[in-house]
Amino acid sequence: MKKVVVTGANGQLGKCLQAISANFPELAITFLTKEQLDISNVEEVSDYFKRNNFHYCINTAAYTNVEKAESDRESAFKINAEAVKILSEVCKANSIVLLHISTDYVFDGTKKAPYSEEDTTNPLNVYGASKLKGEDYIQQLCDKYYIIRTSWLYSQYGKNFYTSMLRFAEQGKKLSITTAETGTPTNANDVAEVCLQMVVSSASIPFGIYHYSNYGAATWYDFAKAIFEAKGLLDNVDLTPTDFFKTEAKRPSYSVLSKEKLSEMLPIKIKDWMHSLKAHVIATKNK
């Protein structure tokens, strides 16, 4: 049986992994919150990993507040880069495969076709730069790793675009949502399944960088509209598109990811974002 440790277990993706872990009885999975393991503490990580003989580490711990990162660069780099450096060193020392989650925001958005794994990175904001530095550390220090870049994650857990839109609808807020950015809304529950499938199928998946998101492309306005349509709330909200939305952090205007590389290796089919959103709404209807 493969022994797997998941860091950042209280985050959105960590909770999605916990929710489906019973579907993978061939994996013995340990979930750790930041309170249970501080991944920025090298002695703590080294001692814990050495004592537990894990085969895989899925790192879902991350600083994900894109706006706040602009004024809190130190914290963003501590979690997204320096802690990843520690995980890389400890995983290599203990022959552990590191599976790390990264982001579409490592790209600058100037391309008009889906980004492949080989395309040049050029992050526009602190968050993207910190995640790219984490990727660099893994490639420099770790010889057995998977880096999965994903995009626009949402789920039933925590604070994300999906849960925020539903909360705003309940509050009756007037919503102006930007059309200036195009990417792919991605169900974090799908990402969780892909992570565990990669661990199960790792013998046939070469180490390296992979892109995974749902299929298709949308603006944030498209995504908001689709959420309200799927929930039957569109007639109840005051939703308008805007081509301007002031933010602290610059964002890529286009960050759709190409999935061809990974789709050829996965035993599961990658879902279209609209299909996955509708399925998500049905699955969580009474929850």
* Cβ-contact 133, 77 below 8 angstroms: yes
Give the pTM. Answer: 0.95
Residue 261 belongs to domain with CATH number: 3.40.50.720
E strand or H helix that includes residue 151: none
The number of domains in the chain is 1
Q: Which domain holds residue 134?
A: 2-152+187-214+256-270
Distance CA(191)–CA(259), nearest Å, equals 13
Q: 83 in a domain, yes or no?
A: yes
Two tokens at 79? 């979690």
Q: 180 in a domain, yes or no?
A: no
Q: 167 in a domain, yes or no?
A: no
Q: 286 in a domain, yes or no?
A: no
pLDDT in tens, the chain (287 residues): 899 999 999 999 999 999 999 999 999 999 999 999 999 999 999 999 999 999 999 999 999 999 999 999 999 999 999 999 999 999 999 999 999 999 999 999 999 999 999 999 999 999 999 999 999 999 999 999 999 999 999 999 999 999 999 998 888 778 999 999 999 999 999 999 999 999 999 889 999 999 999 999 999 999 999 999 999 988 888 899 998 777 889 999 999 999 999 998 888 899 999 999 999 999 888 66
Distance CA(80)–CA(148), nearest Å, equals 14
| SS3 assignment, position 132 | helix
Active site residues: 127
Q: 168 in a domain, yes or no?
A: no
Supply the pLDDT for residue 286: 66
* Cβ-contact 278, 97 below 8 angstroms: no
Q: 104 in a domain, yes or no?
A: yes
Q: 239 in a domain, yes or no?
A: no
Q: 12 in a domain, yes or no?
A: yes
Non-local (6+) Cβ contacts of 117 within 8 A are 149, 208, 209, 210, 211, 258, 261
